[in-house]
Amino acid sequence: MLILDNIPALLVAIPLLMSAIVSVISSDRIAWLFALLTTLVCLFMAYELIDIVSAKQILSYAFGGWEPPWGIAFIVDSANVYLILLVSFISVIATIYAHTMLAREIAVEDLPKAYAVWLLTIASLFGLSMTGDAFNLFVFLEISALSSITLIALGAGQDRRALIAAYNYLIIGAIGATFYVIGVGYLYAATGTLNLLNIIERLNELGTNQAAITGLAFMLAGIMVKAGIFPVHIWLPAAYSYAPSAVSSLLSAVATKVAIYYFARLIFGIFMNITQLIDFFLLYVLMPVSVTAIFYGTIAAIYQTDIKRLFALSSIAQIGYITFAFSLNSHSGVSSGVIHIINHALIKGALFMAVGIFALGIGKRATMVSLRGVGRQMPITFAGFVIAGLALIGVPLTAGFISKLYLFKAVFETGNGLFVAIIAISSALSVLYLWKIFEVMWLQEPYQPLKIEKEPAVAYISLWLMVIAIIVFGIYSNGVSSSGILAANALIGAR
C-alpha cells in the first residue's frame, strides 16, 4: 500500500501542503473545514501507525530512498507513536474548538491565514516528534516556533500585550534554537553524522569525547527552552496567557510535550552513553531544577489572579513533574513521565478551552475578579472545567490520578521519603489555587451584573470531548499506562 508505507512522510506533508492551499482560500468557513479535514486525516493516519509499529517494533522511514546516514530518516517506535496519536487527537479537538473561538477573537479577514499557520504548527509538531535527524529537528523546531509565534501574536486583537509576549518568545526561542544548532555542530564534528541512531553507535565507539559532551550540553539547553523547563521557561507564561484561547489550548497541550519527548530521547538515547556525566546531570541538575519548577509554578499560581497566566504557571509545575519523573532514571520513572505527558496534555488543553469559553462569555479577560459567580451562569462549561481541574489535582477516577499513581510508584521505588514528601506537598498545594477559582466562580457574587453570552455549543462540545477523554483514561487506564511502559522500554530499555 502506497499510503500505508508512507505515513510518516504524509503526516508532515499533508498538513504542510494543506497549509499552503488554505492560505489562498478567502472564505473562513472553507478554510476551517479544510483544516478540520486535514487534522482528521492525520488522526486516522496516526491510528494506522500504531498497528504498523506494534507489528514492526521500530519503523525507520528514509526520505527519497536515501538510507541513513546519508538521507534524512523519520523514526517511529513505541516511544513516540502515542505522542503522534496524542498530537493528532488534540489537534482535531482544538480545530473544532477554534471554529467559534478563533472567529470571535481575531479579525475575520485574517482567519484563513490563521488556519494556514495553524496547520503549519501541526505539521511541525508531527515533524518534531518523528524526525531522527538532529539537524532536521532544528528546522522543525524553527517552523514550530515561527508559526506558533504568529499564532500567539494574533492575540493582539484583544490584548496588545500579546505582541510583546510573541516578540519575547521569538528572541528567547531563537537563542534556544541557535544553542541547539551549536550543539549539533559539536556533535557532528565529533561523530561525523547527524542521524540520531548513528550518533549513538559512533559515540559508543568513541568513548568519552569532550566535543560530544559539550555538544550535548548545548543541545539540551536549547531543547529546554522549547520545553519550558524551569529556568528557561520565562517566555511561556506570557505567551500562553495572551494568545487566543484556541492557540493556548493547542500549544499548552502539545507544543511543549513534543519538546519534552525529544529531551527525553536525547537524555536516554544519547546522553545515557556518557555514563560518568548522566548520573550527575540527572541527580544534580535536572532533579533540583524540576523540584524548583514544581514549587515555583505551584506557588506562583496560588498568587496569580489572571486565570490563563495561572494555568500557564501551573504548566511549568506540571512540566516539572514530568522532568522530575525522568530524573529518577528508572523504568517506572520514565514510564510515569510519559503517562503524565499524555494525561497533562488532555487536562491542560481542556482547562485552557474552558477558560477561553468563560472569557468569551463575559467579554473580558478571565481574572479572579471578572469570573466571580460565572460558574452558575455557564454551568455546562463550568462542570467540564471542574472535572479537568480535579484531574489536575489528581483526584481518583480522572486521568490525573493515573499520572499521580505511577509517579508515586516511581518515587516509592527509590525508597526516598523526601521525594514522596515533595510530590505530596506540591500536589496538596495545587489544591489551593484550584479551590480558589472554584470558590470565586461558584460561591461568590458577580463583581458587576453579568451579561453572559450564550455558551457557544461547538466550543463546549470540544471541551467535553477532552473531559470525556480525561474520565475514560482515568477509569480505563490500561491503554495509557501500557503505552507509558512501552515508551519507557523504547527509551531506556526494559529494566
Partner 1 sequence: MNVIYLILSNWNFIAVIMLMMAGLYIVISNQNFIKKLVGLSIFQSSVFIFYISIGKVSGGTAPILTGIADTIYSNPLPHVLILTAIVVGVATNALGLALVVRINEAFNSIEEKTLLSHKIEDSRHEFEKGDSWK
Partner 2 sequence: MSSLQLILAISLATPLISALAVLLFHKNKNLRDICGPIGGIITFTTAIVIALAIIDGQVVSITLWHIAPGIELSFRVTALGTLFGLVASGLWILASIYSVGYMRGSKDKNQTRFNFYYAVAIHAAMAISYSGNLMMLFIFYEVLTFSTYPLVTHNQTKSAKDAGRLYMGILVSTSLLLFLPAILWVWVVSGTLNLTRGGIIPVDFPSYLLPILLAMFAFGIGKAALIPIHRWLPAAMVAPTPVSALLHAVAVVKAGVFSFLTIVVYVFGTELLSSSGSAVWLVWLAAFTILVSSIIAITKDDLKARLAYSTISQLSYIVLGGALATYAAIEGAALHIVMHATAKITLFFCAGAIYVNAHIKKISELDGLGTRLPHIFIAFFIASLSIIGIPPLGGSWSKFLLMVGSVDSGIPLILGVLAVSSLLNVYYLLEPCARAFFKPAQKEFHIENHTLTIFPPLITATLSLLLFFAVDWVRLLTNLMVMP
Report if residue 367 touches partner 1, rule: CB under 8 A: yes
Question: 445 exposed, middle or buried (CB, 10 Å; 0-12, 13-18, 19+)?
Answer: exposed
- Which residues pair with residue 58 across a beta bridge? 77
Cα dihedral 274, 279, 283, 285, rounded to 10, equals: -20
Instruction: Identify which of residues 197 and 267 has a Cβ nearer to partner 1 in the complex.
Output: 197
Least Å from the CB of residue 282 to partner 2? 21
Q: Whole-angstrom Cα distance, residue 388 to residue 344?
A: 10
Given partner 1, partner 2, none, residue 185, with its beta carbon under 5 to 8 Å by kind, binds partner 1
Sole binder of partner 1 in the list 19, 80, 370, 398 (CB under 8 A):
370
Number of alpha carbons in the 13 Å side-chain half-sphere of residue 43: 15
Q: Whole-angstrom Cα distance, residue 312 to residue 256?
A: 12
Given partner 1, partner 2, none, residue 392, with its beta carbon under 5 to 8 Å by kind, binds none
Q: DSSP assignment of 200-260, as one string?
A: HHHHHHH-S-HHHHHHHHHHHHHHHHHHT-GGG-THHHHHHHHS-HHHHHHIIIIIHHHHH
What is residue 395's three-state secondary structure? coil
Instruction: Identify which of residues 50 and 452 has a Cβ nearer to partner 1 in the complex.
Output: 452
Least Å from the CB of residue 321 to partner 2? 15
Of 254, 255, 247, the C-alpha closest to 98 is: 247
Site string for partner 1, 151-180 (x = CB under 8 A): --x--x-xxxx-xx-xx--xx--xx-xx--
Binders of partner 2: how many residues, by CB under 8 A?
27
Cis amide leading into 456 (omega within 30): no
Enumerate residues 287-346 that contact partner 1 by CB under 8 A.
305-306
Instruction: Identify which of residues 139 and 299 has a Cβ nearer to partner 1 in the complex.
Output: 139
- Which residues pair with residue 61 across a beta bridge? 74
Enumerate residues 177-196 that contact partner 1 by CB under 8 A.
177-178, 181-182, 185, 188-189, 194
Cell of 238: 506570557
- Which residues pair with residue 40 across a beta bridge? none
What is residue 181's three-state secondary structure? helix
Sole binder of partner 2 in the list 88, 136, 248, 427 (CB under 8 A):
427
The residue range among 85-93, 357-365, 376-384, 408-416 that interacts with partner 2, by the rule CB under 8 A, is: 408-416
End-to-end Cα, the chain, rounded Å: 36
Of 341, 343, 467, 350, the C-alpha closest to 401 is: 343
Least Å from the CB of residue 192 to partner 1? 9
Site string for partner 2, 435-464 (x = CB under 8 A): x-----------------------------
Instruction: Identify which of residues 363 and 493 has a Cβ nearer to partner 1 in the complex.
Output: 363
Least Å from the CB of residue 142 to partner 1? 5
Q: Residue 67: what are its φ and ψ, rounded to 5°?
A: -70, 145
Question: 417 exposed, middle or buried (CB, 10 Å; 0-12, 13-18, 19+)?
Answer: exposed
Given partner 2, partner 1, none, residue 164, with its beta carbon under 5 to 8 Å by kind, binds partner 1
Given partner 1, partner 2, none, residue 38, with its beta carbon under 5 to 8 Å by kind, binds none
Report if residue 63 touches partner 1, rule: CB under 8 A: no
Enumerate residues 348-407 that contact partner 2 by CB under 8 A.
393, 395-397, 401-402, 404-405
Binders of partner 1: how many residues, by CB under 8 A?
39
Enumerate residues 473-492 that contact partner 2 by CB under 8 A.
474-478, 481
Instruction: Identify which of residues 96 and 117 has a Cβ nearer to partner 1 in the complex.
Output: 117
Of 217, 318, 347, 306, the C-alpha closest to 260 is: 318
The residue range among 43-51, 131-139, 227-235, 262-270 that interacts with partner 1, by the rule CB under 8 A, is: 131-139
Instruction: Identify which of residues 364 and 461 has a Cβ nearer to partner 1 in the complex.
Output: 364
Q: Whole-angstrom Cα distance, residue 146 to residue 209?
A: 34
Given partner 1, partner 2, none, residue 405, with its beta carbon under 5 to 8 Å by kind, binds partner 2
Report if residue 150 touches partner 1, rule: CB under 8 A: yes
Task: Cite the DSSP H helix spans in 394-456.
Answer: 399-414, 417-438
The residue range among 89-97, 182-190, 217-225, 421-429 that interacts with partner 2, by the rule CB under 8 A, is: 421-429
Given partner 1, partner 2, none, residue 435, with its beta carbon under 5 to 8 Å by kind, binds partner 2
CA distances from 135 to 139, 141, 482 (A): 7, 10, 31
Q: Whole-angstrom Cα distance, residue 323 to residue 316?
A: 10
Residues forming contacts to partner 2 in the complex (CB under 8 A) are: 393, 395-397, 401-402, 404-405, 408-409, 412-413, 417, 420, 423-425, 427-428, 431, 435, 474-478, 481
Residues forming contacts to partner 1 in the complex (CB under 8 A) are: 135, 138-139, 142, 146, 149-150, 153, 156, 158-161, 163-164, 166-167, 170-171, 174-175, 177-178, 181-182, 185, 188-189, 194, 305-306, 363-365, 367, 369-370, 447-448
